[in-house]
Structure 1
């Protein structure tokens, strides 16, 4: 079920397509919150690429991303990640789109609260009327917590 996207997102190009992407992003965030791996997978292209915001490894492919999420959810039961789009721009032929925004991640480990946040860029592709994430790049701008940061 599509969640309503925030109303303050700047939508450029094909507004209907941009709203569909915003709704897909809201669904993706809900899937992360609910640890719904199948729902996460529906929003990822088969060869989707994720560039993490820190020193973590590049993750290539839907299956590899789902494996990574399953591992994260099992190792950090309280983990949360949210992407908040600020701009979605759909190209002239309505087949590609660029999304930019802010992201937040939080979890606890060994009694320490960890918080990360930053900026992200996502590339979306429409295939047979379905928008999927083809690539996401994250830049960590702020981090706090952990044993070495107090």
Structure 2
């Protein structure tokens, strides 16, 4: 695993908890928490099987779970802690801590499955390779991004970049939006579609503006947590969109998470975004829920 990806701890993709899924409690939010606990237990079993691995163990603790029961979607926010052996040999053990968000989806059997996660490291203590600072993000290829403002805090800079992002959406400027993304940008959208890479994201925005007429989306940051030493930021917020889908108006809304990284010029760029639809107002044709996942 490249150092930058390992140190940044970002993971997106369709995942299954590598353990027998627990019996589902009555409450959907409790079912998601039970599935997370099964995931933690699977990590411990993996650690005991691969005793020579440098990763002692990781525990992810949910702080909040918000469920869209009719659509079979759930948004999880929490914190994590991992323990590491000394790597290279002889280095003292250490640990890393941070925050994460997970997107869950119900399968056809009613079990909750993990669809995607974003992790951001807040602190890393020790001399192992796990505590190597991530590689710097290269500068944007174009001059479309505003210059950094001297004296502005990193959290304020991320919020300003989010406002700039919203304005670029409002003026339907796909090139400006793409300039904000890192080359390996990855997004998981409200209904579960994935976009991988900055050029795919640019093409997706061009198509969105072409087909959805006066579509609009506003993402509002509720909390920005920064690891200034590593040039990382974790943004948590809520979103709402308006679009015409299948000839009918839809107003979906929900929660989102974004992982930001500071580039070599000091600008904050988006590496990953994770959206979960928690409500949709509109005609059934415009607010169609995603298909349940197949049973594994």
TM-score (norm. length: structure 2): 0.44
Correspondence 1:99 to 2:235 = yes
Deviation sequence 1:8-30 (CA, Å, 0-9, x none): xxxxxxx7011111111000000
- Give the alignment's Cα RMSD to 1 decimal: 1.9
Aligned pair partner of 2:165 in 11, 28, 31 = 28
Could you tell me which residue of structure 2 aligns to residue 5 of structure 1?
Answer: none
Correspondence 1:80 to 2:216 = yes
Distance change >3 Å, CA 71–CA 149, structure 1 → 2: closer
Could you tell me which residue of structure 2 aligns to residue 11 of structure 1?
Answer: none
Unaligned ranges ≥5, structure 2: 1-144, 147-151, 288-296
Structure with greater contact order relative to length (CA < 8 Å, sep ≥ 6): 1
8 Å contact kept, 2:245–2:286: no
Could you tell me which residue of structure 1 aligns to residue 32 of structure 2?
Answer: none
Deviation sequence 1:61-120 (CA, Å, 0-9, x none): 111001000001000111111100000010141500000000111112455210100000
8 Å contact kept, 2:221–2:235: yes
1:1-150 equivalences under 5 Å are 16-56=153-193, 58-109=194-245, 111-128=247-264, 129-148=266-285
Unaligned ranges ≥5, structure 1: 3-14
Distance 1:116 1:135 in 2: 20
8 Å contact kept, 1:117–1:142: yes
For the pair shown, the structure with the greater C-alpha radius of gyration is 2
Larger relative strand fraction? 1
What is the SS of the residue equivalent to 2:235?
Answer: strand
